[in-house]
């Protein structure tokens, strides 16, 4: 089975989605989307200029009063229709996502696309459930209540590793809460964000509520973050770029939500189910070719299980099939680009000087940006391969002795996005969930996410939450409204000003 998606035909009108229609960028600079599995061109488009960002922000600002003023039920109805449009287009979306990212078709069909549809349906429901403290007479003399209001025009920036899901995670809670949005996807992967926005329009979500600018980070991205009419920045990407985004957002006093890099630990205690841990580690390290901010990257294995774990992980990695993403038997696609493959290979090559590459560490022949599943042992905790985010199919395994040591090593990187602990002992599991500093801790699994639960980082992995109703804390502002109930002109507290007069 081959790819059925024709990017050029689909985006002949341009790759900017502003005010409910596609239009060309006006920067004069072109970018080519390349299929990383073959090196073939998929779409050549003109990047967004700062003027295109201005037009998108203006469209979002114009749409704001109508959308923010709609009832939660009206927003919810539109978003349920949105979920239905996405479901009708599931196969199309899966093909486009596999084509621009090189993801195996079984991954986009079974994970990216259904996850996005479920997220859309979840936020359609959640739009009617904004939470707050109950109204009441907290002072005795007044009635207080809170209004949960949209923030305004949201400017979001997304990475290339899960383009459709990242667009969904940014757009859905924002619009469910009554905001309008301008999203800048990564230059490498604009297709499915544009298709997502088109589905929103086709579902009856008003023009201008969802806008996409496909531009470069340095100009379109920074212009969006610093834009005076943008009330909030929501960024998912690397910690390095997140720092720059934070500087701009802070200098323009914007609300900020940062979902940044990760280096998830995978802690295997000596009572763990070894077969489960081995399968969990290989799947958790290789999902999306390791280009996953929550991927299992550092396995810490208690000494009695260490040798068997390393041997079995190496054997299992050797069974993973690299190949054409549109072949249903392919387990592992290429990396997003040849540049990313070279970056990953650079980390592994440098590690050869101080660690052992047990398996992998090479690129198969061919035009694609493939890299073999790679297992590394013998690295020191403070080495680059253990500390840095590699974003490729590379797992490092280290031994530990006491439980304290295992948990301390798990916490010993700047990141804190996700982690897992593997044990049959409920007390060990409980301790791991309390002591590991990360936004998500799995017990006896690694990777699953659900729409109802929050996703977000601790430490250098950022702050704020995607998914779940917790995300409304980012995308709404809470207003306290207080009514005097006494109708008394001279209140008791006025004594602090007027004394006995």
Which residues would be at the binding site for ligand NAD (CB under 6 A)? 157-161, 184, 186-187, 217-218, 221-222, 225, 236-238, 241, 244-245, 259-262, 293, 389, 391, 417, 457, 461-462
Q: How far is the CB of 244 from ligand NAD (least distance, A)?
A: 5
**Edge-to-edge strand ranges of the sheet holding 374-377:** 356-359, 374-377, 394-400, 296-302, 264-268, 418-422, 440-443
> 97, 101, 293, 440: which one is catalytic?
293
- The residue (of 165 and 377) whose beta carbon lies closer to ligand NAD is 165
Q: How far is the CB of 149 from ligand NAD (least distance, A)?
A: 26
Q: Can you say whether the dihedral through the CA atoms of 464, 470, 474, 480 is positive or negative?
A: negative
Ranges assigned E (strand) in 263-359: 264-268, 296-302, 356-359
> 97, 187, 222, 259: which one is catalytic?
259
Q: How far is the CB of 269 from ligand NAD (least distance, A)?
A: 27
CB 433 within 8 A of CB 443: yes
- The residue (of 186 and 305) whose beta carbon lies closer to ligand NAD is 186
Residue 181's alpha-carbon distances to 17, 51, 171, 207, 478, in angstroms, are 11, 16, 7, 11, 19
Beta-ladder partners of 21: 18
- The residue (of 81 and 465) whose beta carbon lies closer to ligand NAD is 465
Return the exposure string of 234-244: e unless at least 16 CB atoms fall within 10 Å of the residue's CB, then b: bbbbebebbeb
- Least Cα distance to 62 among 234, 194, 197, 211 occurs for 211
With CB atoms as reference, the residue minimizing the distance to ligand NAD is 217
- The residue (of 95 and 170) whose beta carbon lies closer to ligand NAD is 170
Q: How far is the CB of 261 from ligand NAD (least distance, A)?
A: 4
Return the exposure string of 308-323: e unless at least 16 CB atoms fall within 10 Å of the residue's CB, then b: ebbebbbebbeebebb
- Least Cα distance to 349 among 359, 364, 361 occurs for 361
- The residue (of 208 and 456) whose beta carbon lies closer to ligand NAD is 456
Q: How far is the CB of 251 from ligand NAD (least distance, A)?
A: 13
Count of positions (residues) in the chain:
501
State how beta strands 458-459 and 415-416 pair: antiparallel
Catalytic residue status for 311: no
- Least Cα distance to 206 among 409, 321, 60 occurs for 60
- The residue (of 305 and 447) whose beta carbon lies closer to ligand NAD is 447
Residue 387's alpha-carbon distances to 161, 252, 264, 390, 497, in angstroms, are 20, 33, 10, 9, 59
Query: Any idea which residue has 């600079």 for tokens?
Result: 29
- The residue (of 81 and 254) whose beta carbon lies closer to ligand NAD is 254
Catalytic residue status for 293: yes
Rounded to whole angstroms, the Cα distance separating 498 from 361 reads 79
Active site members: 259, 293
């Amino acid at each position: 089975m081959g790819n059925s998606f024709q990017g050029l035909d689909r985006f002949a009108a341009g790759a900017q989605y502003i005010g409910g229609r596609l239009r060309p960028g006006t920067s004069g600079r072109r970018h080519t989307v390349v299929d990383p599995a073959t090196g073939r061109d998929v779409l050549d488009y003109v990047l967004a200029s700062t003027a295109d960002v201005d037009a998108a922000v203006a469209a979002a600002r114009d749409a704001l009063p109508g959308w923010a003023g709609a009832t939660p039920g009206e927003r919810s109805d539109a978003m349920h229709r949105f979920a239905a449009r996405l479901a009708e287009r599931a196969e199309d979306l899966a093909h486009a996502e596999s084509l621009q990212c090189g993801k195996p078709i079984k991954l986009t069909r079974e994970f990216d696309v259904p996850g996005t549809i479920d997220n859309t349906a979840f936020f359609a429901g959640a739009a009617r459930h904004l939470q707050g403290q109950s109204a009441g007479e907290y002072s005795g003399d007044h009635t207080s209540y809170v209004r949960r209001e949209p923030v305004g025009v949201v400017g979001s920036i997304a990475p290339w590793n899960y383009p459709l899901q990242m667009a969904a995670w940014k757009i859905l809670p924002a619009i469910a809460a009554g905001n309008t949005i301008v999203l800048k996807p990564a230059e490498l992967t604009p297709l499915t964000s544009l298709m997502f926005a088109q589905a929103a329009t086709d579902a009856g979500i008003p023009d201008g509520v969802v806008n996409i600018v496909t531009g470069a980070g340095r100009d379109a991205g920074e212009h969006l973050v610093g834009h005076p009419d943008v009330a909030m920045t929501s960024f998912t990407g690397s910690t390095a770029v997140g720092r720059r985004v934070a500087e701009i957002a802070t200098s323009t006093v914007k609300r900020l939500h940062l979902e940044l890099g990760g280096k998830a630990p995978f802690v295997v205690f000596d009572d763990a189910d070894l077969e489960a841990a081995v399968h969990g580690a290989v799947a958790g390290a290789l999902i999306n070719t390791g280009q996953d901010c929550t991927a299992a990257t550092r396995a810490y294995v208690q000494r009695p299980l260490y040798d068997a774990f390393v041997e079995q992980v190496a054997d299992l990695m050797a069974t993973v099939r690299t190949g054409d993403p549109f072949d249903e038997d392919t387990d592992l696609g290429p990396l997003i680009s040849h540049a990313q493959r070279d970056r990953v290979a650079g980390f592994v090559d440098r590690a050869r000087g101080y660690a052992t590459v047990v398996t992998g560490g090479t690129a198969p022949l061919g035009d694609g940006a493939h890299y073999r599943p790679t297992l590394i042992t013998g690295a020191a905790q403070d080495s680059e391969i253990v500390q840095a985010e590699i974003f490729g199919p590379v797992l490092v395994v280290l031994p530990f002795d006491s439980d304290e040591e295992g948990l301390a090593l798990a916490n010993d990187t700047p990141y804190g996005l996700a982690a897992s602990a593997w044990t049959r002992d409920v007390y060990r599991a409980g301790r791991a969930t309390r002591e590991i500093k990360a936004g998500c801790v799995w017990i006896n699994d690694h990777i699953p996410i659900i729409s109802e639960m929050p996703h977000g980082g601790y430490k250098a992995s950022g702050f704020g939450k995607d998914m779940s109703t917790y995300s409304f804390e980012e995308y709404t502002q809470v207003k306290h409204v207080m009514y005097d109930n006494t109708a008394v002109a001279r209140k008791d507290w006025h004594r602090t000003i007027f004394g006995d007069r």
